[in-house]
Amino acid sequence: MWRFATVEVVEPPSALPTCAPPPAGLDLAITQAGPEENEENGLRAVAVPPMGNSFTTAQGASGRDLTPDGLKKCDCFAVGNYTKMRKLGSGAFSTVYLARYNPKSAIVDDVGVCRAIKVIQKEILTPEDKEGLHSEIAILLELKSPLVMALYEVYESPTAYQMVTELIEGGELFERIVEKEKYTEKEARDVVRNMVEAVGYLHKHGVVHRDLKPENILLESSTDDSTIKIADFGFAKHVMEASSACGTPGFVAPEILKGQKYGLGVDVWSLGVIVYITLCGYPPFYDENQAQLFAKIKAGRYSFHKKYWEHISEPAKGFIRAMLTVDPGVVGAGASDKPKASRRWTCAELLEHEWLEAEIGHIDLGHSLKHLRDAHATNDLLFEANHAATGPHANPDEHDDYHNHVEGRPVK
């Protein structure tokens, strides 16, 4: 059940128009149109305050316009709720369009707001795919956080599903980093804190993402280098429902590879891999042979190679050790009674780690920039299957400490 997603980007984020953001705290609900409101299909969109973990819907005038899980039974472009502007990208299962929102109620003060609409053709979906899609939709409608990509509404026509999300114009995190002329540990630390807070929000709501990787960490805008949003909840589950093996090789947690029961800690492990790459520019686990790669992950064999890590602070290394510890500590969503020194930390514990609180001087991460740019030049910035070796992985014989593995060492 491993997924290797490829998306053809039609236009870079910088080419998108500047669109006004939706009003703060805006959620969309569907209510029945009144007798004097001649709205198409008897539906109108209204602004409502945040509803926590609930999603408010009501049937349209026909009584058949919404499915039980809140999907609107119509085509959002055909009924005029959105105007399709252009294609943003496409993949094996979907196409994403830039669209302008056309609210039909004067109550909604966001006329002309741009959104992204992901169109998924039904004919290519298996029953399992449809079940997964409905699960993804239900989870996204539960989550109300500025650190998570917002799903506003979902339409279902006879041929396709249409997921209306906020337009995130900042692009992928690593794409932004390679554009920088200089990059420091403090800048990286600020982004990492936001990533941990975002994943911690999911965990507080009992949701495990299960596929955290660089392409799913997006920046909110083209002018903000640290405010991120978590995207792509295709593998997300409520933690008590998560049991299948899934994820992306290189980022997947050891307990998943071992076929063990797992919990929220799998996200912490994946986040640890992302943090490691953020600080040095290459992944902690690499092997051209996938079986060998998985063996390294299951054993927690990684190193802080002196040439690339000696200038990075010890608290930063300790932070990574706290995430890349093989023992997850707990299965499910409960708390662990094991000492932190012997198991993986939770997001709540990581937010209290000394690295996120310490004063950090000007620690240059020029090596990280170089390796990320090298990966970008070979179209390997996602660090997915068969990516080119970078950093010490490219020339292991040149590094005396290449095989000095941490072996899932406890946190100092």
Catalytic residues: 211
Least Cα distance to 194 among 284, 248, 274 occurs for 274
CB atoms within 10 A of CB 337: 8
Least Cα distance to 6 among 371, 370, 386 occurs for 386
CA–CA dist 264, 259 (Å, integer): 15
CA–CA dist 65, 59 (Å, integer): 6
Torsion of CA 311, 317, 318, 323, to 10 degrees: 170
CB-based contact 123:205 (threshold 8 Å) = no
CA–CA dist 108, 100 (Å, integer): 14
CA–CA dist 33, 60 (Å, integer): 7
CB-based contact 271:252 (threshold 8 Å) = no
Structure tokens at 305: 């190679």
Q: Look up residue 293 and give its amino acid.
A: L
Residue 359, exposed/middle/buried by CB under 10 A (0-12, 13-18, 19+)?
Answer: exposed
Return the SS3 of 370: helix
CA 40 to chain centre: 35
CB atoms within 10 A of CB 35: 6
CA–CA dist 281, 184 (Å, integer): 12
Return the SS3 of 42: helix
